[in-house]
Amino acid sequence: MSPFIEQLTTDQEKEMKRQLDVYRQGVQDIIPTEELAEKIAKSLVTNTPLKVKLGLDPSAPDVHLGHTVVLNKLRQFQENGHTIQLIIGDFTGKIGDPTGKSSARKQLTDEEVKENAKTYFEQFGKVLDMEKVELHYNSKWLSSLSFEDVIQLAGKITVARLLERDDFEERLAYGKSISLHEFFYPLMQGYDSVILEADIELGGTDQHFNILMGRHYQEKFGKEKQIAILMPLLEGLDGVEKMSKSKHNYIGIDESPNEMYGKAMSIPDPLMSKYFELITDLEPAEIAQIKKDLHAGSLHPRDAKMLLARTIVRMYHSKEAAEKAEQQFITIFQKGALPEDIPTVQWTGNNPESLVQLLVDVNLLPSKSEAKRMIQNGGVRIDGEKIEEVDLEVTINKELIIQVGKRKFVKLLG
């Protein structure tokens, strides 16, 4: 059963175990877990990279750290010389929703698909070496299938098996309609694996069923079966819900260093280890040490979180940007000092001017009523001094620093 594992040299065996440790890090499930070692062994013995597949929805991508959980796992495979296969599911994208019920699944043109793929590429380039990545559009093989081919494909799967998918089972049980074409999405994903001869397919735990379709169809077509590596879903900054744009609990990988660092510092303490494991590029040993030190109390949670924040900014910007963001954060939030680069406004209006009007004019607050409320709540400072007088008239005859809340500053030049 395990010919390649038995052929490994001592060095190769060590390398296999090292890779196994890396790949197992942070995963939710490997199915079947015992086959992964053999796949790596095959790659080492035959000196052939493994093909590691990730399917992508062709609708407009907006990548945040939640998405990078799988990307980081792909990066680990890439760093060990394996081949990453990104598949843009453009065939389904071009079809849209034939029932017309789902506005989410609108029909995309060739140009839109290409444009979205480009956006993926740019954003994924922050995690993966895109020059080594294989990019595939599944319309290439799916659009040329005939009805007869489809019947052959459908003949290789049972209705009962498809109804095992949690959402199908539930909808049928509760009398919610399942349109027959929906049965084809897992079939297509499975057939993609047949065509690409994938060794491993990655996805979130919600892809469990669909990825196993790949195994099923590879076997039916007489191919070697892929392994499913399922990654956990990442909770967002609220510590509860899955990270997503609609929940406003995300860190986008396109955000500025300061924004990214600040948001990372708001990750709840209990989630820190999970973030280290799932979205950073630190070595397993390093992460293990951090967890150990945190547990022993020799590492302060604040310091660990600063390392996490620094790591995230370094990954998506640079080491320098990370250090600068950290300095900025320390200056403002930890020492209560001013940040280095705050917007400067040359004042040309009334002089003196009411503070309430001034706050609106320099765009620190949207309306005079909000400006009043902010002053009443003690949220406004001039040159570091808290203002309590709502009717204050300000004479601008020198440089003044006006501050609203913790983070918003304007330097006013008289």
150 vs 342 by CB, closer to a second copy: 150
Q: Which of 34, 122, 172, 205 is close enough to bind a second copy by CB under 8 A?
A: 172
Retrieve residue 253's tokens: 């990988």
| Residue 135 touching a second copy (CB under 8 A) | no
Task: Give kind and range of the element (H or E) at residue 85.
Answer: strand 83-88
Distances (CA, A) of 248 to 236, 251, 391: 8, 9, 36
How near is the Cβ of 270 to a second copy at its closest, in Å? 41
CA–CA distance, 105 with 95 (Å, rounded to integer): 9
- Tell me: is residue 245 an annotated ligand-binding position: yes
Q: Which of 10, 175, 336, 398 is close enough to bind a second copy by CB under 8 A?
A: 175
| Residue 148 touching a second copy (CB under 8 A) | yes
Within 10 A of 386 (CB to CB), how many other CB atoms are there? 11
| Residue 149 touching a second copy (CB under 8 A) | yes
| Residue 282 touching a second copy (CB under 8 A) | no
CA–CA distance, 301 with 121 (Å, rounded to integer): 35
Q: Which residues of 162-175 are buried (b: 16+ CB within 10 A; e: fewer)?
A: beebeebeeeeeee
How near is the Cβ of 153 to a second copy at its closest, in Å? 8
- The length of the chain, given as a count of residues: 414
Q: Which of 179, 205, 344, 376 is close enough to bind a second copy by CB under 8 A?
A: 179
CA–CA distance, 161 with 168 (Å, rounded to integer): 10
| Residue 158 touching a second copy (CB under 8 A) | yes
Q: Which of 1, 160, 285, 296 is close enough to bind a second copy by CB under 8 A?
A: 160
Q: Which of 168, 275, 276, 329 is close enough to bind a second copy by CB under 8 A?
A: 168
> Count residues contacting a second copy (CB under 8 A)?
38
Closest among 269, 285, 266 to 277, alpha carbons compared: 285
CA–CA distance, 134 with 84 (Å, rounded to integer): 6
Q: Give the E-state strand segments of 8-108 in sequence order.
A: 29-31, 51-56, 83-88
Q: Which of 1, 47, 155, 296 is close enough to bind a second copy by CB under 8 A?
A: 155
| Residue 177 touching a second copy (CB under 8 A) | yes
> Facing residues of 279 across strands?
none
> Facing residues of 64 across strands?
252
Where in 186-245 is the site for a second copy (CB under 8 A)? 187
Q: What is the DSSP letter of 332?
A: I
Q: Which of 2, 7, 46, 152 is close enough to bind a second copy by CB under 8 A?
A: 152
| Residue 97 touching a second copy (CB under 8 A) | yes
Q: What is the DSSP letter of 151?
A: H
Where in 62-91 is the site for a second copy (CB under 8 A)? 91
How near is the Cβ of 199 to a second copy at its closest, in Å? 26
Where do contacts with a second copy occur on this chain (CB under 8 A)? 91, 94-95, 97-99, 142-152, 154-160, 162-163, 168, 172, 175, 177-184, 187
